[in-house]
Structure 1
Amino acid sequence: MRRSPLARLLLPTALACALTPALATAQPADGALALDNVHIVEAEHNRVSARSCVRVQDARIATIAAAGAPACLEGARAVDLQGRYLVPGLIDMHAHLTLGPLEIKRERGRAVMQALPDDDIAEHNARRLVAFGVTTVRNPGGDLPAAARYKARLAASELVGPEAFNAGPVINNADLPGLSIAAHSAEDMDQVVRAQVEAGADWIKLYTGLSPELLQAGIDAAHRHGRPAVAHLESIAWPDALAMGLDGIVHLMPLSPDLLTPEQRAAWQATARGGTYSFFEWWEHFDPEGPQAERLVAAYREHRPVFDATLVAFHAAFVQDQDNPYKDDARRHAHPRLLDHWNEWFTFAIGWEPEDFERARAVWPKVQRMAARLYATDARMTLGTDMSNPWIAPGISLHRELQLLAEAGVPNAALLLAATRNAAEALGAGQRLGRVAPGFEADLLVLDADPLQDIRHTRDIHAVVLDGEILTTTALNQLKGE
């Protein structure tokens, strides 16, 4: 929970006189705020409530009553929302909050890759996440000292940002300073996991280069130390990893030869190229209605993993050769260092030729179909963006992810639950986050239109309530740097 005097943090001295009145009219009086005349979006029932009054006190939802109820309004700063719509604050389950650019340096005559943390990028990301209604994130891989600095600054009211749940550097078969650490044996794995837990890791992130034996060792070590294990996997088939006890999977890119039939596998491997070409080459052979897809769906139903598809990260790569909204978002909202980095060289489509982009776009309907099938299971489906990777701008990209999944056929109510209640429960915070209900923390989003009717309405943000304090248009624009 953030305890931040938002007016002081948001307003530079030179602007304070001009902007303070606009912000001050929305601040709680006598410790209470009443959001009156608002429809609560009840995604679990696929409906909205009658016009209601939501009283916020001590940064939590105190009561919910009928619009205009004296018990809700008494002694509170009342804000008439004129029939707008209220949802919980959004949760991005795949936001590399502190990550800096992926760089290559020369060290002892050889090239070394690194992705060092950047506190300025973290603050930039945090402000824009809040501006777009993202009040909680999971950072699924990064520098734990940087994550600790972010948490300390948030607690000290030195910045405005979402609450963060963090994994440490991803555990893989090679080191990449700032982003990954190697484990070559079960003993290594236990030591790395123990060190990450002691440094404050909420999750353990396992990566594509691990053998099945080391993946199992990582899952077991995470559980021994009281942490869930999530993985980015390619060569190891997801059903096999889930049977090992893996708690979560990221990215809708299975890319395992064991999820192809023998004929499909032979055809793929005969022409497969390394690197990110697999993002479309594998899908050219996979059948989202075939027996291996059925195996994958069955595994999701049985094991109920936490899952975020991050479609936006891959779609941005698939259309990178064209003018597209992801580039526009990045120009407006990505940190300049990251934007320069993507423009200069680093993207997920390095080396792709025009025909590669055409092939990638041709398989996109298959990706959509598999997403719809997985999100229709009762697995713990959430939303993520892979923020800080190419063309993924903070905040706005989560709304793009919602739209992509809606276009794939996932119902709007299911998407809202994935972005709120499901994610909070997956984070182990379902008793305090992700719902509009008495006793829950007052991280809320006020929308101009009903997102159950059109998921694009999540972008029509009238106000954000962060830790019980309401930010209206002036403050939100300021957070965006506008």
Structure 2
Amino acid sequence: MRLPIPRVAALAVAGVVSWTMSGTPALAQPASQPASRATVLQGARIIDGSGAAPLENGSIVIRNGRIESVARAGAAPPAGATIVDLRGKTVMPALIAGHAHLGLTNGTSAGAKNVTEDNVVRQLQKYMKYGIGTVAVFGTDHDFIYGLRARQQAGKLAAPAILTAGHGFGVPDGAPPAKMGIDQVYRPTTIAQVDKDIAELAANKPDLVKIWVDDFGDKSTRKMDPALYREVIVQAHKHGLKVAAHVFYLEDAKRLARDSIDIFGHSVRDKPVDAELIGLMKKNRISYIPTLDLDEAFYVYADKPEWMGQPFFRQALDPGVWEWLHSPAYKVKEQSRKDFSVAQRNVRALHAAGIPVGLGTDSGATIARIQGFAEHRELELLTQAGLTPMQALQAGTAVNAAILGVDKERGSLAAGKQADILVLDANPLDDIRNTRKIHGVWLRGVLVSGER
């Protein structure tokens, strides 16, 4: 993987990265470059995200930030097009981080004090270098996120697309716990307050809504009143917004499913999922983002896995985090080994039952959930849970796009879609860990990281 970028010169002819006065890279169109000129990515193996067999020796024509065509190489390229030779490479859609958090950590510090625009942009660009084209932030954003989202959409910020839940819904003296230092959360106590908060949130045009309903495994912590989260779901749906829930317990999941939640943002981890929950999820078209990496991160660093010594992991760490992971400050939670085992079995059961399973990690919520790396580790954990490499790739691309309601724009390589593309030096269908062999990252048709 080549990380000492984003590049600021000699980028794809569809655009370049320039630097704004604030010091953050922006996408800009060079004056001498006609906006309509095409770029052709030629000769690669194409995994389009749909689950179809790869297209060998393929060609992708990009124009104005979008995919114009995907076909077998051989046809004459458009007049004046720039040809990018990708023979021997594998091309796939850029990944979608289906459950993440921005700004909460900075080095070995965690909490709301770190949520600044500069820190959020820095973290977005880390995701970008790791091949992630869209980041869904689940309920911990400050209001400046809407301005960043607009800048990215306008091509003025070189960063993944932002999907934000704005301020999530939690519980007074409950989840998310005060010790996490998350201050940007609604904590209603009445139906009227829920209605007021949803109206305020909806005015900002978030992409979804997040609720925390469980007790984070602490029986002394208050859980959300079902009447309140039912009202959040009802009011959010009136505004055309999907709702994602932080869950742990099977019984909470069943109640949420009866109330037509849209997304489980974590795994059920106390018990095996049963036929009743599966039936409710099918009936109400509920999706599942298991965040297996979340539970693993509570103990895995103490086990010293081989990947901890590899550059792909080490380069994702903020200064001081390597030392922190090897210090007493990193506290192993042995219960999470059991939770992880249950979570993997439940992913296997739900996927086998036809429930849409997406890729998310909760990366960025704590120091140990490493942004960028976690998403690639999650792909591997999904295959260990029983998904094939192709199914895991779909979880991180087309399935996630459908879960999050952005499948018309991204998630697969098809004509009309945004040209968010990950170029790899090896085939992830042979070994899912090959997604870590990143050759280049293209967002909106522009090479933003790596090599041509």
Instruction: Please tell me whether residue 233 in structure 1 is matched to residue 241 in structure 2.
Output: no
2:274 maps to 293
**Do 2:295 and 2:340's aligned partners in 1 also have CA atoms closer than 8 Å?**
no
**Do 2:108 and 2:320's aligned partners in 1 also have CA atoms closer than 8 Å?**
no
2:315 maps to 332
Task: Give 2:200's aligned amino acid.
Answer: A
2:397 maps to 420
Aligned partners of 1:345 and 1:196: how far apart in 2?
40
**Do 2:107 and 2:318's aligned partners in 1 also have CA atoms closer than 8 Å?**
no
Instruction: Please tell me whether residue 372 in structure 1 is matched to residue 348 in structure 2.
Output: yes
Alignment of 1:315-354 (within 5 A): 315-324=296-305, 325=307, 332-336=315-319, 349=331
- 3-state SS, counterpart of residue 281 of structure 2: helix
Task: Give 2:122's aligned amino acid.
Answer: H
Task: Give 1:413's aligned amino acid.
Answer: M
2:97 maps to 92
Aligned partners of 2:107 and 2:277: how far apart in 1?
32
Select which of 350, 355, 360 maps to 1:384. Answer: 360
Shift of 1:383: 0.5
Unaligned runs of 5+ in 1: 14-23, 106-112, 256-285, 476-482
Question: Which structure shows the higher helix fraction?
Answer: 1
Alignment of 1:427-466 (within 5 A): 427-466=404-443
Shift of 1:402: 0.3
Aligned partners of 1:35 and 1:446: how far apart in 2?
10
Alignment of 1:464-475 (within 5 A): 464-471=441-448, 473=450
**Do 1:144 and 1:199's aligned partners in 2 also have CA atoms closer than 8 Å?**
no
Aligned partners of 1:198 and 1:326: how far apart in 2?
43
Task: Give 1:434's aligned amino acid.
Answer: G
Task: Quickly say closer, same or farther: Cα 1:432–1:326, change in 2 above 3 A.
Answer: same
Alignment of 1:37-116 (within 5 A): 37-70=43-76, 72-100=77-105, 114=112
2:381 maps to 404
1:217 maps to 231
Task: Quickly say closer, same or farther: Cα 1:104–1:440, change in 2 above 3 A.
Answer: closer
**Do 2:107 and 2:367's aligned partners in 1 also have CA atoms closer than 8 Å?**
no
Task: Quickly say closer, same or farther: Cα 1:152–1:224, change in 2 above 3 A.
Answer: closer
Task: Quickly say closer, same or farther: Cα 1:252–1:115, change in 2 above 3 A.
Answer: farther
Write the deviation string for residues 348-379 of structure 1: whole angstroms up to 9, x where unpaired: x5xx5xxx63x643564433222211222322
Shift of 1:300: 3.0
Aligned partners of 2:416 and 2:356: how far apart in 1?
23
Task: Quickly say closer, same or farther: Cα 1:406–1:377, change in 2 above 3 A.
Answer: same
1:307 maps to 288
Task: Quickly say closer, same or farther: Cα 1:331–1:134, change in 2 above 3 A.
Answer: same
2:220 maps to none
Percent of residue pairs bearing the same amino acid type = 27
Task: Give 1:118's aligned amino acid.
Answer: T
1:121 maps to 119
**Do 1:47 and 1:452's aligned partners in 2 also have CA atoms closer than 8 Å?**
no
1:262 maps to none
**Do 1:33 and 1:56's aligned partners in 2 also have CA atoms closer than 8 Å?**
yes
Aligned partners of 1:216 and 1:102: how far apart in 2?
38
**Do 2:67 and 2:416's aligned partners in 1 also have CA atoms closer than 8 Å?**
yes
Shift of 1:467: 0.5
CA-based RMSD:
3.4
**Do 1:137 and 1:165's aligned partners in 2 also have CA atoms closer than 8 Å?**
yes
TM-score by length of 1: 0.76
Alignment of 1:273-284 (within 5 A): none
Task: Quickly say closer, same or farther: Cα 1:183–1:134, change in 2 above 3 A.
Answer: same
Write the deviation string for residues 152-203 of structure 1: whole angstroms up to 9, x where unpaired: 4435655421001100222112275534221101111111111111123221
Deviates more, 1:87-96 or 1:149-158: 149-158
